[in-house]
Amino acid sequence: MTALHRTEAFLRCYAFLPHRLLNRATQAVTSAQRPAWAVDRAVDYWARRDGIDRSEFEARRFTSLDDFFLRRLAPGARPLEPGFVAPCDGNLIASGAIDLRRPMVVKQQRLSVDRVVSGGVYDQDLSDFDGGTYAVIFLTPRGYHRVHMPVAGTLESVRWIPGRYFPQNEDALRVVPRVYERNERATLSCRDAQGRRFLMVMVGASLIGGIHLEGALRREWAQTKPHALGRTLQRGDEVGHFAFGSTVVVLLPRGYASGVIGRPEVRMGQTLLHS
């Protein structure tokens, strides 16, 4: 059996694994702070292996792998470009026009926009998004895992959708069906300074899988009912973060943008959309 076949076989079996138990076991390792020398070596190895430019992040000792994973940018490291900017770092794996009568295509996945956004838990009117624009950003394990506001406006509410914790890399998207309809999600309803609504869906992934929102306790909003946030934010302010691998799906209503700027990889603060 080739390595590719072994990977596919493992992913096909992933649905039968105890996702939450795996998450807890992984978190016990990544949150360990002792022995300090082992943490330092693991962080150094990770940075070297993945070619992480540590100069753009805060200069300090990281106390655990979790601490390094959630490293913050140094002040001034990411000047914001004009317009609607990328909310996070990652690979731009899909973008296009929204048609509520047809599936949204992400790699090999054919997904219902309503299922991704609402998960069958909520009844949301998405009619103003028909003919709009979507962009899907996969946050790689080597990247920066904090999510920021792409425009000045209001973070109005969050709708939590319980789910599994499947991987989201290319192999997983090829083998595991409907990942973005099945994993845990937090749908953030936002409104820009002109009053136009847009959505950002934070999708949790395998190993730890936690979605966290800035200034809001998870136990308060991780319930199957809309939770009001009412945070007024400037462009580039932090919205939340992922405890491990993850994806952000951005959905814009019709008339908001003429398309996504085509580049395979985006960085938080770069212009994402043509307006």
Judge whether 130 counts as a catalytic residue: no
Residue from 66, 89, 192, 206 carrying the catalytic annotation? 89
CA atoms within 13 A on the CB side of 97: 8
Q: Which amino acid is at 208?
A: I
Judge whether 89 counts as a catalytic residue: yes
Strand partners, 238: 148
CA dihedral (84, 152, 220, 72) in degrees, to 10, reads 70
Judged by DSSP in three states, 267 sits in coil
Cα distances (angstroms) measured from residue 26 to each of 31, 94, 209, 219, 246:
9, 29, 10, 21, 15
- H or E element in which residue 173 lies: helix 170-175
Tokens found for residue 57: 């992040």
Query: What letter does residue 17 receive in the DSSP assignment?
Result: S
Euclidean distance between the first and final Cα of the chain, in Å? Answer: 49
Helix extents (H) in 112-166: 113-118
Judge whether 246 counts as a catalytic residue: yes
**Contact, 247 vs 184, CB < 8 A?**
no
CA atoms within 13 A on the CB side of 185: 27
- H or E element in which residue 65 lies: helix 65-69
Residue from 148, 189, 192, 241 carrying the catalytic annotation? 148
Tokens found for residue 4: 């590719």
Active site residues: 89, 148, 246
